[in-house]
Amino acid sequence: MREIAYLSETKLRQFVPNPPRMPRTSALRLTTPLGGIDMDTSTKDGEPWRLRHLRRVDQHLERVAEWYAAPGLRPGQWVQFEAPLRCVTLSGAHNDLVLFVDSTRGRAVEAGDCRLLMHGSARHLLGWAPTEVEGPELEVANSASSLGSAFVTRAGQVVEALTRHREPQTGDGETAADLHRRGVQALLHALDEQDTGIETSTMMIGYARVTGLLPGDEAAARCLVASPLVVEYAAAVIGRSSV
């Protein structure tokens, strides 16, 4: 059995099974400018369909997904991951954005390591209550302006970009989120600073689509930013074929 903590139905629906070679009597044929598509009208939307479809998508991603720490990844690629993750939301206007960040508690992060930061919609959580944190300072009053306007910090720009990019579009028109290197580093630092209380990280596995890649340097590890399809408890993944 497998215990799923997060499942994006939007991404799940992006995977369309190949049509049968010969249309069945229960199938509906749609005509498009690119040709006909056979759709099985007996397929019903619901939990059984969702789990069957997830199993097929798993089998596909097992063949094509790269390891999240592999070199040479590009935005839009699928990766698989296994890491101790914390699930957090930010207080304020972006509390519908859920973040999964690898925990650094009890270990030193070295320059050659790869951090993992995933972003999604809180509505896709299944039974995992996120921890609300203050996060980084997102807006700062611009004292130089007589109008008293505010400018958004680098970390705030990253949070806004991740909020807009929770469900990235696929295809040739896909663009990477507008991420700033220092902003991602500031966001990670703020999340790490709040990882000082009760242990909340859990070993999780799953698949995600790459949003952006932050190169490392002598002072900080590189970081892969991604949007997850499925996040599940690693200890519960026993007998995957029984889904």
Residue type, 213: L
Residue 111 banded pLDDT, cuts 50, 70, 90: low
Residue 57 in tokens: 């998508």
Compute the mean pLDDT over every residue in the chain, rounded to the nearest whole number.
77
- Annotated domain spans of the chain: 4-17+28-242
Task: Give the list of residues 6+ apart from residue 88 with CB closer than 8 angstroms, or none.
Answer: 98, 99, 101, 130, 131, 132, 133, 135, 191, 194
Question: What's the pLDDT tens digit per position in 123-147?
Answer: 999 978 888 887 666 555 454 544 4
Residue 160 banded pLDDT, cuts 50, 70, 90: confident
pTM: 0.76
Residue type, 50: R
* Confidence check: pLDDT of 170 > 50: no
pLDDT at 39: 43
Question: Which strand (E) or helix (H) includes residue 10?
Answer: helix 9-12
pLDDT at 185: 85
CA dihedral for 47, 10, 159, 108, sign (positive or negative):
positive
* Confidence check: pLDDT of 115 > 80: yes
**Measuring CA to CA, which residue among 1, 64, 6 is closest to residue 204?**
6
Strands (E), the chain: 4-7, 27-32, 35-40, 66-67, 78-90, 97-102, 114-121, 131-133, 139-141, 150-152, 202-214, 222-233
Instruction: Indicate the range of 75-84, 143-152, 233-242 predicted with least confidence.
Output: 143-152
Residue 241 in tokens: 């074929």
Q: Please report, for residues 61, 124, 199, the alpha-carbon distance to residue 117 in angstroms, rounded to integers and kept in the order given.
A: 20, 17, 18
Residue 167 banded pLDDT, cuts 50, 70, 90: low
The more confident residue out of 99 and 95 is 99
